[in-house]
Amino acid sequence: MKRTKIVDIFAPELIGNQVSVKGWVRTRRGNKQVQFVALNDGSTIKNIQIVFDMAKFDEEQLKPVTTGASIHVIGQLVESMGKGQTCEIQAESLEIYGTADPDTYPLQKKGHTFEFLREKAHLRPRTNTFGAIFRIRHHMAIAIHQFFHDHGFFYFHTPIITASDCEGAGQMFQVTTKNLYDLKKDENGSIIYDDDFFGKQASLTVSGQLEGELAATALGSIYTFGPTFRAENSNTPRHLAEFWMVEPEVAFADLNDLMDLEEEFIKYCVNWALNNCKDDLEFLNNMIDKGLIERLQEVVKTEFVRLPYTEGIKILEDAIAAGKKFEFPVYWGCDLASEHERYLVEEHFKKPVIMTDYPKDIKAFYMKLNADGKTVQGTDVLFPQIGEIIGGSVREESYDKLMTRIEEMNIPMKDMWWYLDTRRFGTVPHAGFGLGFERLLLFVTGMTNIRDVIPFPRTPNNAEF
């Protein structure tokens, strides 16, 4: 008999049919006459209730049916008298696939802290909360592909192993097959990579942007969506050493086109969650964050603020003059700390802010220089609770200006000749951005720690599982 997934079992036309369900036991309760099992198979946040008439089953048979055990039940689907469910299954047969010893299975009924569950990351997808989060994660990935596909963007695969540091922040993980106990060095003590696997120093990518620009200046509009690695030693609830980034890149786009794309894209993804993840969002709204759904609905409706950095600094300075206290100083040229970003978004404007035109010294080499010679056409999208969710820019398309920045910033260009060729041959104005997938998920799920929206988080001192 064909198995029915629990997500499909609540269809009214199935009532009265014999059904076969398979899943993991969430709870079992009852008495000598009747036993109730709540079964979940991961296809939905909802459990199906299975009723065992103990006149037809013996106690020994149900003993191994404990929290975490996997079972197969065949029975009749009937309307339910009980509160909170529309239907239930009157069990006719029971098969046990695997038991879960109550003395050692870590996910017993009682609520666990997220810290505890992080240590059980191999089992936490079986909890309601993480089931919901990982289903939403899937749906958001689909939303991303759908959005770009519908807008004529091509999904372009950029390499994970690379020799260039796109962001120039020196946060790359090296990739080598060299014997670390016996490194060949030159007379200055520098490591010689000639005999390493790639014949040069190689690392895991911090961004697919540079290769994305090659593709955009050929295919017009592209996006990448893949794993990204940063060896930044910041142990915060918003940083991972391995995260997923979405990076669209668009030829012939200017700053306004870029901001329009950023805003439309985020709204599309949030709206997708509201339309496609109703049950899971309702669960998270009830259990984790009572304001979640309202906040998501609000963002879809709200026009984002577009704020030049220089004006942002003025607002912060005025706030300080009026008595607001920040831990870090504010002055033109400073890199805004998360407390400053949050003040602007959560207290001053009370809506998402796209900040633009940053001082060139705090941004990457590829950003287009403004006519003032001091600021660049970079954008950060700042979100309530999250802070920076997107970083993007118009790219410097002039070969000469780009070379000047590269020299000013001492960027090693030995391995970047191919990037400069985009500016040497048929260069065009273009722009793009990077959205941190897990930061988007933080916003959409209402979770507060980025370690809880990726199945197996990698952070300083943690590469378990």
Contacting positions for ligand 4AD (CB under 6 A): 166-167, 207, 209, 230, 232, 239-240, 243, 245, 247, 388-393, 432-436, 438-439
Which entry of ligand 4AD, Mg ion, none binds 430, CB below 5 to 8 A by partner kind? none
Q: Quick one: tokens of 297?
A: 């609905």
* Number of residues binding to Mg ion, judged by CB under 5 A: 1
Which entry of Mg ion, ligand 4AD, none binds 247, CB below 5 to 8 A by partner kind? ligand 4AD
Distance CA 213, CA 8 (A): 44
CB of 365 to ligand 4AD, least distance (A): 11
CB of 10 to ligand 4AD, least distance (A): 37
Which entry of ligand 4AD, Mg ion, none binds 131, CB below 5 to 8 A by partner kind? none
CB of 336 to ligand 4AD, least distance (A): 13
Q: Quick one: tokens of 71?
A: 């079972």
Which entry of ligand 4AD, Mg ion, none binds 432, CB below 5 to 8 A by partner kind? ligand 4AD
Which entry of Mg ion, ligand 4AD, none binds 434, CB below 5 to 8 A by partner kind? ligand 4AD
Distances (CA, A) of 211 to 157, 206, 229, 267, 380: 9, 12, 16, 27, 21
Residue number with the smallest Cβ distance to Mg ion: 391
Counting Cα atoms < 13 Å in the Cβ hemisphere of 282 gives 7
- Looking at the Cβ atoms of 207 and 445, the one nearer to ligand 4AD is 207
- Looking at the Cβ atoms of 16 and 412, the one nearer to ligand 4AD is 412
Distance CA 87, CA 81 (A): 8
Q: Which of residues 123-182 bind Mg ion (CB under 5 A)?
A: none
250 DSSP β-pair partners: 221, 431
- 68 contacts Mg ion (rule: CB under 5 A): no
E strand map for 298-337:
305-308
Quick one: CA torsion of 254, 260, 262, 267, rounded to 10 degrees?
A: -170
Distance CA 62, CA 60 (A): 5
3-state class (DSSP) for residue 60? helix
- Looking at the Cβ atoms of 166 and 330, the one nearer to ligand 4AD is 166
- Looking at the Cβ atoms of 44 and 377, the one nearer to ligand 4AD is 377
Instruction: Kindly report the backbone phi and psi dihedral angles of residue 233, in degrees, each rounded to the nearest multiple of 5, phi listed first.
Output: -85, 45
- Looking at the Cβ atoms of 40 and 224, the one nearer to Mg ion is 224
- Looking at the Cβ atoms of 88 and 165, the one nearer to ligand 4AD is 165
Query: With the C-alpha atoms ordered 269, 275, 281, 286, is the resulting torsion angle positive or negative?
Result: positive
CB of 459 to ligand 4AD, least distance (A): 9
Only segment of 188-196, 245-253, 307-315, 386-394 that touches Mg ion (CB under 5 A) = 386-394
3-state class (DSSP) for residue 83? coil
- Looking at the Cβ atoms of 124 and 230, the one nearer to ligand 4AD is 230
- Looking at the Cβ atoms of 119 and 388, the one nearer to ligand 4AD is 388
Distance CA 248, CA 235 (A): 28
Give the residue carrying structure tokens 């600021």.
Answer: 375
CB of 293 to ligand 4AD, least distance (A): 23
Cβ atoms within 10 Å, residue 201: 15
- 391 contacts Mg ion (rule: CB under 5 A): yes
- 384 contacts Mg ion (rule: CB under 5 A): no
Query: With the C-alpha atoms ordered 182, 183, 185, 189, is the resulting torsion angle positive or negative?
Result: negative
- Looking at the Cβ atoms of 51 and 240, the one nearer to ligand 4AD is 240
Cβ neighbors of 6 (< 8 A, separation 6 or more) are 21, 23, 39, 40, 41, 43, 44, 46, 47, 48
CB of 5 to ligand 4AD, least distance (A): 33
Distance CA 81, CA 276 (A): 29
Q: What b/e sequence results for 125-143 when a residue is b if at least 16 CB atoms lie within 10 Å of its CB, and e otherwise? A: ebbbbbbbbbbbbebbbeb
Q: What b/e sequence results for 158-176 when a residue is b if at least 16 CB atoms lie within 10 Å of its CB, and e otherwise? A: beeebbbbbbbeebbeebe
CB of 33 to ligand 4AD, least distance (A): 54
- Looking at the Cβ atoms of 35 and 393, the one nearer to Mg ion is 393
CB of 436 to ligand 4AD, least distance (A): 2
Only segment of 79-87, 153-161, 260-268, 387-395 that touches Mg ion (CB under 5 A) = 387-395
Q: Name the residues that contact Mg ion, by CB under 5 A.
A: 391
